[in-house]
């Protein structure tokens, strides 16, 4: 790799791998430029879709510490570098692939862990981060209200018990 333009390309790709939460490798053979433009829009704001050279990308991935993708760098390859919510971008890829069978999801990496094409499709089936957080908040709020009612019930039960004991003592005192 003596040429400076190749060295610059590898450095740029290495930086993209390091700064991304996830990267998804795809094969785009047969897609038109207009379809690729539509695909880029469907990935969302937090993803960049780049057509790459396999050799340079493999070197860049290895320099970034990602060696699990080595066998997937064959054929026409493009990489979706995802910096935000990977679920949103995975949904965009899955939905685009349904409408355009020429897009083939090869695999990817999520926070250093290798993902197969099936795992990426499962990731796409998850709900978005915001929906999951709101469900978690709702569940926590429900548990808090249950705890509050339990804590509120304890003093009232104590008061009823003390009143019952006092009433029983009054009955026994009046009977003597």
Q: At what angle do helices 4-19 and 54-63 cross, to 10 degrees?
A: 50
pLDDT in tens, 110-122: 887 888 888 888 8
pLDDT in tens, 21-73: 888 988 888 888 888 888 888 887 888 888 888 888 888 888 888 888 878 88
Q: Which of 128, 107, 92, 101 is closest to 23 using CA atoms?
A: 107
- Cβ atoms within 10 Å, residue 105: 22
Print burial letters for 29-57: b (CB count within 10 Å at least 16), e (below 16). eebeeebbeebbebbbebbebeebeeebb
Whole-angstrom Cα distance, residue 39 to residue 104?
12
Pairing, β 22-27 against β 104-110 = antiparallel
SS3 73: coil
Cα-to-chain-centroid distance, residue 116: 15
Identify the band that residue 87 occupies on the pLDDT scale cut at 50, 70 and 90: confident
Whole-angstrom Cα distance, residue 7 to residue 120?
30
Q: What is the mean pLDDT of residues 140-154?
A: 72
CA torsion, ordered 38, 42, 43, 45, to nearest 10 deg: 100
Q: What is the pLDDT of residue 92?
A: 86
CA distances from 8 to 2, 50, 79, 83, 113 (A): 11, 15, 17, 21, 26
- Cβ atoms within 10 Å, residue 80: 26
């Amino acid at each position: 790799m003596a040429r400076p333009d190749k060295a610059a390309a590898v450095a740029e790709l290495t930086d993209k791998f390091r700064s991304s939460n996830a990267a998804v490798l795809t094969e785009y053979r047969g897609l038109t430029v207009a379809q690729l433009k539509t695909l880029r829009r469907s990935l969302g704001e937090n993803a960049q879709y780049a057509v790459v050279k396999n050799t340079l990308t493999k070197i860049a991935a290895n320099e970034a510490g990602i060696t699990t993708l080595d066998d997937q760098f064959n054929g026409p390859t493009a990489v979706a570098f995802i910096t935000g919510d990977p679920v949103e971008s995975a949904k965009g890829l899955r939905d685009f692939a349904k409408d355009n069978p020429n897009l083939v999801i090869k695999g990817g990496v999520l926070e250093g862990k290798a993902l197969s094409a099936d795992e990426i499709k499962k990731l796409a089936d998850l709900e978005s981060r915001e929906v999951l957080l709101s469900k978690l908040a709702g569940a926590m709020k429900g548990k808090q209200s249950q705890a509050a009612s339990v804590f509120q019930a304890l003093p009232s039960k104590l008061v009823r018990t003390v009143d019952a004991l006092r009433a029983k003592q009054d009955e026994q005192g009046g009977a003597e």
